Structure 1
Amino acid sequence: MTIQPAKLSDPAVRAFVTAVNAHDREGFQALLAPGATMADDGSDRDLDDWVDREIFSSNGHLDVDNESNGGRSLLAHYRNDAWGEMRTRWHFTVSDDGRISRFETGQA
Structure 2
Amino acid sequence: MTIATAKLSDPTVRAAVTAINAGDRAAFTALLAPGATMSDDGSDRDLHDWIDREIFSSRGHMDVQSESDHGRALVANYSNETWGEMRTAWRFVVENDRISRFETGQA
TM-score (norm 2): 0.99
In 1: Cα distance, 2:4 partner to 2:14 partner: 9
Aligned residue pairs: how many?
107
Deviations 1:35-83 (A, max 9, x none): 0000000000000000000000000000000000000000000000000
Check if 1:107 corresponds to 2:106: yes
User: 1:13-24 alignment to 2 at 5 Å?
Assistant: 13-24=13-24
**Residue 35 of structure 1: aligned partner:** 35
| SS at structure 2 position matched to 1:44 | strand
RMSD: 0.4
What is the aligned-residue identity percentage?
A: 72
**Residue 97 of structure 2: aligned partner:** 98
Shift of 1:25: 0.7
**Residue 65 of structure 2: aligned partner:** 65
Q: Which runs of 4+ in 1 moved over 2 A?
A: none
In 2: Cα distance, 1:27 partner to 1:98 partner: 13
In 1: Cα distance, 2:44 partner to 2:87 partner: 20
Shift of 1:87: 0.1
| SS at structure 2 position matched to 1:26 | helix
